[in-house]
Amino acid sequence: MRRREFLHVLGGSAAAWPFLAQAQQSEHVRRVGLLMGLASDDPDAQTFVAALHQGLQEAGWMVGRNIRIDIRWSGDDYTRLRRDGAELVAQKPDVIVAGYGPTLPILQPLTRTIPVVFAQSVDPVGAGFAKSMARPGGNMTGFTQFEYGLSAKWFELLREIAPQITRVGVVRQLTGPVAYGQWAVIQTFASPAGIELEPINLERGEAEIERAVSAFAPAENAGMIVVVGANAAVQRKLLVTLATRHKLPAVYFNRMFVDIGGLMSYGPNLMDGYRRAAGYVDRILKGEKPGNLPVQAPTKYQLVINLKTAKALGLTVPPALLARADEVIE
């Protein structure tokens, strides 16, 4: 389901929901904190919150009656994210949902007792947030955003839609080990194919990102892969604009890029992660321990292609690729 359709079904913008409404006195109100590394006016962030809200409703929780949700939005401000995480923990909610961005490394040192459900973590076992997928232990559990094998899929899709490429810019966020893991997988497939990789790092703000992409773009037969990272999501408008300006075929890790003009994406349905997170919140509020709830991988993946962008880039999308697409934007 598209973002606008999903929000329409729920009755409008998530920003309008009475998350802080006064509860009726007849029921005990449970408190849930939600930490988001995106801005409150980000339309995709609103969709994620909508999915969480819907999942809680389906489990019988009604905002304003028996549950209250306190949301903290930080955009791409890491200092603010740390402050917001500390504020949520200080309120001692029954559960905290760790949303988009580096929310888990913020929350882990702040509390070992409040249950934390992550909606889209990357490699929680490798990062030390869970002891294992089956038995995470501790106070954290939830849902992963991807597995490293997807990096090979992005590379294969880029070569399929743009077989002429000989050089690929990998747009990545260097904070943490995830970027290196994704790079290693892509390198494993690129080297035998004779494809040269070049890193495009996202650590120094918009001006540096524009400079890095502009420096890479003149390379003959160049393409781009945008791998998983919170900074990439925050800077998605800029990245799509630069790919369009420089006529770079690009594959992105999520459809949020394709919705605003990106060429193609392959990745999990992130809304589903928040909806499933609501189910874990429900189970924890009813007495289950987070350490006993297994960390789960995505169950839904989407291949989305923007035909208008392909035409603007002078690309002909192979019929076999179109046939595999879950959605085609025209």
From 12-21, 86-95, 299-308, the region with the lowest mean pLDDT: 12-21
The whole-angstrom separation of Cα 23 and Cα 328 is: 43
Torsional sign, CA 78, 83, 84, 90: positive
Assess contact for 305 and 318: CB atoms under 8 A: no
pLDDT the model gives residue 11: 45
Assess contact for 257 and 228: CB atoms under 8 A: no
Q: What is the pLDDT of residues 19-70, one digit of tens each?
A: 444 444 456 899 999 999 989 999 889 999 999 999 999 999 998 899 999 9
Superfamily name and number for 3-146+268-300: Response regulator (3.40.50.2300)
For the chain, which residues make up each domain, given as ranges?
3-146+268-300, 150-252
SS3 call for 282: helix
As a CATH number, domain 150-252 is: 3.40.50.2300
Could you give the C-alpha distances from 304 to 149, 177, 251, 330, in angstroms and in order?
18, 27, 10, 11
The domains spanning 3-146+268-300 and 150-252 adopt the same CATH topology: yes
Assess contact for 72 and 64: CB atoms under 8 A: no
Q: What is the pLDDT of residues 123-149, one digit of tens each?
A: 899 889 999 999 999 999 999 988 888
Assess contact for 68 and 97: CB atoms under 8 A: no
**Quick one: how many helices (H) and strands (E) in the chain?**
13, 12
